[in-house]
Amino acid sequence: MLVEKHGIAPQVFRHLRIENKASFSLFLFSMKKILFLLLACGPLLLSAQKTAGKVKYIAEHSWTKKIKYMNYLTPQQIEKMTYAWGHDDVWKEVSELYFSPSESRYLDSKEQVENYDWTSKAETYTITRNFDKQTIRDHVHIGEKKYVVEDTLIAQKWKIMSEIKEIAGHICLKAVTKDTIKNQTIVAWFAQDIPVPAGPERFCGLPGLILELDYNFGALVITASNIEFMQPKPEELSLPAKLKGKVIKDKDYVALIKDFILTRVKMENYPFWGIRYN
């Protein structure tokens, strides 16, 4: 059963799916719970709907949890890598999302998390979405090569669940999707009181702003730590006209990622040195 969201680029939600009648009943039950919580917070919250601003995200990576899902490694190899990297198991990074009803831009931040002096942010990575024009324009890297991905916007296929939780002061609903190429299950938590189909990384297409992404049950968790509602400047929502890198389609980018991972797997190396895990 398709879920249609009126008012903000309905075509973005064409891949949104609630699997069956039981799931739909749970979805409706969750909506009732969210409505109750919103009403309990008073009329000021209901009237304070915001659709433009900037989100600061904190990404927490776990080496050992990432290694756990490398199913081509033997248990002995996993144990050896866990022992080697376990003392530096967790590290954190900062990223930013500028959003409006029609556009979004996600990029790595130069800001560092307190007490963390290491970062991998030398890479090229900026993601833009135009929800009105239904287009994407991303500046990315694979290994040492840079690419500009320009194509039609196709959102992930989401399954909405019944759970809810609070993130950064907003009641969020759970949705799940899978990345079969990277062998990842991704859980998103989105805020329906911020009715913009944007999100961090390359994820979008839910009826509300994505405030958290959880990859493979804690291997990587990207969580909104602060939301500033304001009108972003045009340059904060778009990429420069001229960028270094070969212009390719999204299917070409996916094929390059798949080939890179397969090559690393054959060498029994960690596949996410040279590409992003997320």
Average pLDDT of the segment spanning 216-245:
96
Taking only the tens place, the pLDDT of each residue in 170-195 is 999 999 999 999 989 999 999 999 99
In this structure, what token pair is assigned to residue 143? Answer: 């290994």
Whether the pTM exceeds 0.85: the reply is: no
Taking only the tens place, the pLDDT of each residue in 120-173 is 545 689 999 999 999 999 999 998 899 999 999 999 999 999 999 999 999 999
- Is the pLDDT assigned to residue 48 strictly greater than 50? no
User: Can you give the pLDDT at residue 112?
Assistant: 72
User: Any idea where the domains of the chain sit in the sequence?
Assistant: 10-266
Q: Say how far apart CA 86 and CA 63 lie, in whole Å.
A: 7
Amino acid at 151: D
In this structure, what token pair is assigned to residue 227? Answer: 């939301």
Please provide residue 270's backbone torsions phi and psi, each rounded to the nearest 5 degrees: -65, 120
- Is the pLDDT assigned to residue 3 strictly greater than 50? no
In this structure, what token pair is assigned to residue 252? Answer: 């070409």
More confident residue, 78 or 33: 78
More confident residue, 62 or 86: 62
Question: In 3-state terms, what secondary structure has residue 260?
Answer: helix
